[in-house]
Amino acid sequence: MATGIELLLAAALCAACPPPNGSLPANLILLGEDGGPSTELPIDLDTTDAGVDEDIGEETLETIISKKPKLHEMREWIGGKHLRIATLEDFPLSYTELLENGTRIGHGVSFQIIDFLKKKFNFTYEVFVPQENIIGSPKDFDRSLIEMVNSSVVHLAAAFIPSLSDQRSFVYYSTTTLDEGEWIMVMQRPRESASGSGLLAPFEFWVWILILVSLLAVGPIIYVLIILRNRLTGDGQQTPYSLGHCAWFVYGALMKQGSTLSPIADSTRLLFATWWIFITILTSFYTANLTAFLTLSKFTLPYNTVNDILAKNKHFVSMRGGGVEYAIRTTNESLSMLNRMIQNNYAVFSDETNDTYNLLNYVESNGYVFVRDRPAINIMLYQDYLYRKSISFSDEKVHCPFAMAKEPFLKKKRTFAYPIGSNLSQLFDPELLNLVESGIVKHLSSKDLPSAEICPQDLGGTERQLRNGDLMMTYYIMLAGFATALAVFSTELVFRYVNSRQEANKWARHGIGRTPNGQSVAPSRWLRGWRRLDSGHGQLLGASTHNQNVTPPPPYQSIFNGGSHGDGDPLNRWRRPLGHGNAIGTGVLLGGDSESGVRRLINGRDYLVFRTPNGQSQLVPVRSPSAALFQYSYTE
């Protein structure tokens, strides 16, 4: 690396250097003052030697040679001329002011450029605006800017005109692109970020699906494995849990709740523990990711691209007669897929040139999306920001009620336009090119704006409290859960009712289902169903019998191996322990007098016939299979 001293040394040594080689490389064409070639062209000139490609070589040479004198000629022609210049109201790029004496003065970036050209080429100009503030198109020609240009009423149109294809047959766009216009969407700032369904955010869609699958699959798997193990080992200690219990355990573990299942066998324990480990890892990932999501998540807008507008059928507004309108209405332009939205009145084209008015009227009041090009939108939002800042001092959300999409709605090159066949563009284009390349045009369009971004998408409020919108999902889950429970509950009721009807029919068919009171069985069973619901123990023999005076017979085995309960009181032999003491004595009266049962043969089967206190006969089947069935149907 050259240090300062080395450089000094080199400079000192080079004072003695030979002067730079004065003679230029061979084959170089030198242009004289007037632009014509000063050196005689070598006869055997090869175009590749001149640094140009063969196919465009000749033309380039001709252009170079002919350009200078022509420009010189035109300069002289335009000096002192009076030009008529048309423009559009397109703040801040071009806008006009009408003085009291009827003179129109142009302002904005376009006229700063024109003024520069005016100084350079010494012409004067007059400003005109079309009767309607529209660019115009073949179908929208009347009173438009391109009509003025096409009819050569004006010498040029000084505005940032997007170069649209249809308009090309009426005007000549300057070859120098002033800038690349970017039309941006402005919309109301959404209350929360679009990913408001934050509870689902930590995992991808497929992860959720697989969690659901494992939730459904693991219960049966555990169930099957336990059964398999029991079969293989013949171990009676580990009771095989029912499928419902297994599924409930899986679900309870996923929710980090417990389960009453406590497996004894080691392998079963391992099975359970495996699921627990899975759940532990899963839930800690979920929690961590949810935290990160809520604190670091990016702010997203509901409408970011044209496709969002199209897919969600969003109303939008843009300037009448601007680039966006023609890009939509023209068949082969980039936005022609939005044409359907114009037909369905989703698109509005505002005649109003006051952007602030459009912003307040359409976006703030009606929730439209406003499409406008870049410098205009920045200035509009900045002015709005300044105004709001004067109203409320501290709350940033109040200052920035609007948000801009990042993706441009439309991109078009923008240039001045000339009548076809005009030679002004040849004169102006090199100067414009210099202005563009030196960044002056860009600077002019943003010079009234602060360099900081105004109202960025993400306002970056650090302490974000969870809003109701963030928790919407939980509320929905609650509602869905309650609704499901309600639905299940009502089907339970319906089933119970249907079942009781069937039972009643069955009993009635067999002719032995009469209640002691002579009522039909169905209502009392129905009622008993209700009571069962709140007692929770369907099989309480005493309680249910007491409540409805139906006296089911004693358990089969207790009749024949009496006293096996070790209960001294014979009255309570078949009674389960009861909460209500008053059941004793008023309920089952069969117990004591088992000897009063009479063995009868009815329909070819053995029955013990008991007599209830009400004088009704009660049959108890004696043959063991029937008795077991009978017992089962009563107790379960």
Ligand X SMILES: *[C@@H]1O[C@H](CO)[C@@H](O)[C@H](O)[C@H]1NC(C)=O
Which span sits near ligand X by CB under 6 A: 73-81, 399-407, 442-450, 567-575? 73-81
Which span sits near ligand X by CB under 6 A: 15-23, 51-59, 175-183, 540-548? 15-23
Give the pairing of strands 347-350 and 316-319: parallel
Minimal distance, residue 79 CB to ligand X, in Å: 5
Place of tokens 């014509």: 36
| Residue 382 sits in the site that holds ligand X (CB under 6 A) | no
| Residue 122 sits in the site that holds ligand X (CB under 6 A) | yes
Q: Residues touching ligand X: how many (CB under 6 A)?
A: 24
- For residues 73-103, one letter each, b for 16 or more C-beta atoms within 10 angstroms of the residue's C-beta and e for the rest, the string is ebeeebeeeebebbbbbbbbbbbbeeeeeee
| Residue 80 sits in the site that holds ligand X (CB under 6 A) | yes
Containing 95, the helix (H) or strand (E) segment is strand 95-98
In the complex with ligand X, the residue whose CB is nearer, 448 or 569, is 448
Minimal distance, residue 170 CB to ligand X, in Å: 6
Cis peptide before 202 (omega within 30 of 0): no
Q: Looking at 185-329, list the stretches that DSSP marks H as alpha helix, in order from N- to C-terminal side.
A: 205-233, 243-254, 266-296, 306-312, 323-329
Place of tokens 């409320």: 392
The count of other CB atoms within 10 Å of the CB of residue 365 is 10
From 7, 41, 77, 447, residue interacting with ligand X (rule: CB under 6 A) = 77
Q: What is the CA radius of gyration of the chain?
A: 47
Q: Which residues contact 110 (CB under 8 A, 6 or more apart)?
A: 87, 93, 94, 158, 159, 160, 416
| Residue 476 sits in the site that holds ligand X (CB under 6 A) | no
| Residue 387 sits in the site that holds ligand X (CB under 6 A) | no
Minimal distance, residue 479 CB to ligand X, in Å: 43
Q: How far is CA 467 from CA 192, 194, 294, in A?
A: 8, 13, 11
Nearest-10 crossing angle of helices 521-535, 541-548: 130
- Give the alpha-carbon dihedral of 584, 585, 589, 594, to 10 degrees: 80
| Residue 391 sits in the site that holds ligand X (CB under 6 A) | no
| Residue 395 sits in the site that holds ligand X (CB under 6 A) | no
Minimal distance, residue 431 CB to ligand X, in Å: 16
Which span sits near ligand X by CB under 6 A: 349-357, 496-504, 572-580, 611-619? 349-357
In the complex with ligand X, the residue whose CB is nearer, 73 or 458, is 73
CA-based end-to-end distance of the chain: 96
From 15, 99, 296, 391, residue interacting with ligand X (rule: CB under 6 A) = 99
In the complex with ligand X, the residue whose CB is nearer, 357 or 476, is 357
Binding flags for ligand X, 128-147, as an x/- string (CB under 6 A): -------------x------
In the complex with ligand X, the residue whose CB is nearer, 332 or 462, is 332
In the complex with ligand X, the residue whose CB is nearer, 332 or 582, is 332
Q: What is the rounded CA–CA span in Å between residue 39 and residue 29? A: 6
- Residue at shortest CB range from ligand X: 80
From 260, 331, 345, 390, residue interacting with ligand X (rule: CB under 6 A) = 331
308, 79, 280: which is closest to 190 by C-alpha? Answer: 308
| Residue 353 sits in the site that holds ligand X (CB under 6 A) | no
| Residue 103 sits in the site that holds ligand X (CB under 6 A) | yes
Q: Looking at 122-204, list the stretches that DSSP marks H as alpha helix, in order from N- to C-terminal side.
A: 145-150
Which long-range contacts (C-beta less than 8 Å, at least 24 apart) are formed by 249-257?
249/219, 249/222, 250/215, 250/218, 250/219, 250/222, 250/275, 251/215, 251/219, 253/279, 254/215, 254/279, 254/282, 256/283
In the complex with ligand X, the residue whose CB is nearer, 92 or 181, is 92
Binding flags for ligand X, 145-184, as an x/- string (CB under 6 A): -----xx------------------x--------------
Q: What is the rounded CA–CA span in Å between residue 69 and residue 84? A: 26
Dihedral sign, Cα of residue 147, residue 149, residue 154, residue 160: positive
| Residue 101 sits in the site that holds ligand X (CB under 6 A) | yes
Minimal distance, residue 333 CB to ligand X, in Å: 9
Taken as a whole, the chain contains a residue count of 636
Pair of tokens at residue 472: 């919407």
| Residue 354 sits in the site that holds ligand X (CB under 6 A) | yes
| Residue 23 sits in the site that holds ligand X (CB under 6 A) | yes
| Residue 356 sits in the site that holds ligand X (CB under 6 A) | yes
Q: What is the rounded CA–CA span in Å between residue 128 and residue 148? A: 9
Which span sits near ligand X by CB under 6 A: 95-103, 272-280, 472-480, 541-549? 95-103
Q: What is the rounded CA–CA span in Å between residue 418 and residue 350? A: 27
Which span sits near ligand X by CB under 6 A: 69-77, 181-189, 496-504, 598-606? 69-77
From 79, 367, 461, 585, residue interacting with ligand X (rule: CB under 6 A) = 79
| Residue 336 sits in the site that holds ligand X (CB under 6 A) | no
Q: Which of residues 423-442 bind ligand X (CB under 6 A)?
A: 423
| Residue 74 sits in the site that holds ligand X (CB under 6 A) | yes
Place of tokens 């099975």: 271
In the complex with ligand X, the residue whose CB is nearer, 157 or 627, is 157
| Residue 465 sits in the site that holds ligand X (CB under 6 A) | no
| Residue 390 sits in the site that holds ligand X (CB under 6 A) | no
Binding site for ligand X (CB under 6 A): 18, 21, 23, 73-74, 77, 79-80, 99, 101, 103, 122, 141, 150-151, 170, 331-332, 354, 356-357, 360, 422-423
